Chains A and B, each alone.
Chain A
Amino acid sequence: MAKVQIIPVPTRILTQKDDIIDTVERYTKGKIGKNDVISVAESVVAITQGNFLRVDEIKISRAAQNCCRFIPDYGSLATPHGMQALMLAEGTWRVVFALALGFLGKLVGCRGLFYKYGGEQAALIDDATGTMPPFDKCVVYGPKNPQEVVDKLKERLGCYGAIIADVNDLKRSRIVGATAGMDAERAANLLIDNPFGNASQKTPICIIKNFA
């Protein structure tokens, strides 16, 4: 059985002018086979979808200013901009309710209620500094329709599977979208060392060779 191998694919900086499917196809041409899995960084998928906001262009509500204070300062929702971005995506009242529920839950030892009820973007938003330049001054959402994106990638590339992954240098690896039949947990474990890189390493695409 061939050895599983992770091959980062360098690209130029991708923007909202790029189509993620066409771009991945172009950069992986001749490199990907039918036993391989294509893996794309979630922030890059979101950027190509135009799913981000510049920090200085977000109009901040009083609710966002108050709510962000209850998030620890290392979180992406700890600034008024991160919180406002979430409110714009999921609705102000939903976020306020989820925050109150999360607070009450913590009092009785039940954690994670805010992220459970605050909408899917609550766990996906990256605040400023979370993405490489020139998007370091932006709040970047999670990707829209991740399932549709991975299904299209698999179909176009003819590979074993496709995933969108949220990975960072703190050994956190999460699969945001995966094609049917994929062992997403195994893929997440393989990506735990963050082959995409943070900072200015331009490798938003990785091929997991011989995954099948």
Chain B
Amino acid sequence: MTILTWILVALVAILILRDIVFDIIGKEEVSINIPDPAVPKVLSHDGDAVTLGVPFQIINDGKQSALVIDVIVRPQLAFEQYDGVSVHGKAEMEGRPREDDYFEAAVLFAKGDKSGSNVMNIMAQITLTPRKGMTMKKALSGMVDLPIDIVYMFVGRVPCHYEKGRIILTAEQIAEATGTELITD
């Protein structure tokens, strides 16, 4: 064999060895766990706005820790479908309440790591505010199904990137949680 062939063989061997080592070391395996069906509960309710909470989890089942950089709760109610309420979303980590909408980056430990949990409990807080001079009761009586995207950014052994999950709060669930009677046309 020529020298070139030996170099190529050595390179291929190094790459195979690298993959084997990386496979043994493992990496983070982050996913979102949204209860199905999602069960909203009222966190606060006054005449001006109602805030619903929907718990969900971000879980790391991998062998390596991850850093959860950001979690964004993005309600997807289009006024073309229903313009009786405006919707605002916020993610709040369990045990770390914040008055602002900021999500503080945190470590999500590897599964079995004694330093901390591999499960991050988060509450999606959805605030519904009536529009067009309607009362809360009237605004919620015409509510439609509300899709909410949960967008989360994390980094571990792979570069940081966004992934997404989705909660769908049905009009019936919202009505039941807020004690409202739905009016269908």
0/1 interface trace, chain B 32-58, chain A, CB 8 Å (1 if under): 000000000000000000000000000
Per-residue CB proximity of B121-160 to A under 8 Å, as 1/0? 0000000000000000000000000000000010111111
Selecting from B2-10, B63-71, B79-87, the interface stretch reads B63-71
Contacts of B18 on A, CB cut-off 8 Å? 66
Q: Are A137 and B105 interface neighbours, CB within 8 A? A: yes
- A79 an interface residue at 8 Å Cβ cutoff? yes
The answer to whether the Cβ of B107 comes within 8 Å of any Cβ in the partner chain is: yes
* Interface status of B106 (Cβ within 8 A of chain A): yes
A79 near B156 (CB under 8 angstroms)?
Answer: yes
Known: A69-B25, A137-B69. A128 touches B157 (CB 8 A): no
Tell me which residues across on chain B come within 8 A of A80, comparing CB atoms. 155, 157-159
**B67/A128 in contact, CB under 8 A:** yes
Q: Complex: how many Å from CA A80 to CA B25?
A: 15
Other 20 A-B pairs with CB < 8 A, given A65-B159, A129-B67: A55-B69, A56-B153, A65-B157, A65-B158, A66-B18, A69-B25, A73-B65, A73-B110, A74-B65, A78-B157, A79-B155, A79-B156, A80-B155, A80-B158, A80-B159, A81-B155, A81-B159, A129-B107, A134-B102, A137-B105
A41 interface residue (CB < 8 Å to B): no
**Residue B104 is within 8 A (CB to CB) of chain A in the complex:** yes
> Which single residue of chain A is at the shortest CB-CB distance from B65?
A73
Partner of A73, one of B64, B105, B160: B64
Residues of B within 8 A of A128 (CB): 67, 69, 105, 155
Collect the chain A residues with CB atoms within 8 Å of residue B158's CB. 65, 80
Interface residues, chain B, with chain A CB atoms under 8 Å away: 18, 21-22, 25, 64-65, 67, 69-70, 102, 104-107, 110, 115, 153, 155-160
What is the minimal beta-carbon distance from B165 to any residue of chain A, in angstroms? 19
**B25 cross-chain contacts in A, Cβ below 8 A:** 69
Query: Is A136 among interface residues, defined by CB-CB distance under 8 A?
Result: yes
Given known contacts A127-B67, A129-B67, is B157 in contact with A69 (CB within 8 Å)? yes
Q: How far is the CB of B155 from chain A (nearest CB, A)?
A: 5
Determine the distance from Cα of A128 to Cα of B103 in the docked complex, in whole angstroms.
13
- CB of B12 to closest CB in A, whole Å: 16
Partner pick for B104 among A66, A78, A136, CB 8 A cutoff: A136
Which residues of chain A come closer than 8 Å to B153, judged between CB atoms?
56
Interface string of A45-84 (1 = CB under 8 A from B): 0000000000110001000011011000110001111000
Set of chain B residues within 8 Å of A81, measured between Cβ atoms: 155, 159-160
| The one of A55, A68, A136 that contacts B160, using a Cβ cutoff of 8 Å | A55
Output the nearest chain A residue to B64 by Cβ-Cβ distance. A73
Selected contact of B155 from candidates A55, A66, A133, A134, CB within 8 Å: A55
User: Nearest chain-B residue to A199 (Cβ)?
Assistant: B104
Q: Please list the 4 inter-chain residue pairs (A to B) with the smallest Cβ-Cβ separation, ordered nearest first.
A: A136-B105, A73-B65, A60-B159, A73-B64
Most A CB contacts (10 A, CB to CB) among B64, B104, B107, B155 go to B155
Find chain A residues with CB under 8 A from B70 CB. 137
- Considering the chains assembled together, what is the distance between the CA atoms of A78 and B63 in angstroms? 13
Give Cα A121 to B141, complex, Å: 59
Report B-chain residues with C-beta under 8 Å of the C-beta of A60.
159
